[in-house]
Amino acid sequence: MSSMTVANPPKGETAKLTNPLNPEGLKPCCACPETKSARDMCFLQHDSGEASDACKNLVQAHITCMRGYGFNI
């Protein structure tokens, strides 16, 4: 479970949740571009029957990266 902190906003502004693992507030689509692109290229280079085995390490690397930013995948 990831922890979130709530900043005390100036008067008149709403509070914003901040994930300490992702202080920039990256969306899942923009996080880990290196592992995402390597994973995607692997799936494009292999047919569907062998892609799951051939790309297993790249998929796991991408999952690890995403979890590093606090995404629960």
- Does residue 55 have a known ligand-binding role? no
Residue 44 contacts by C-beta under 8 Å, 6 or more apart in sequence? none
**Any idea what the Cα angle at residue 43 is, between residues 37 and 48, rounded to 5°?**
165
- Does residue 30 have a known ligand-binding role? yes
Burial class (CB in 10 A: 0-12, 13-18, 19+), 62: buried
Q: Which residues are annotated as a binding site?
A: 29-30
Q: Which residues are annotated as a binding site for Cu cation?
A: 29-30
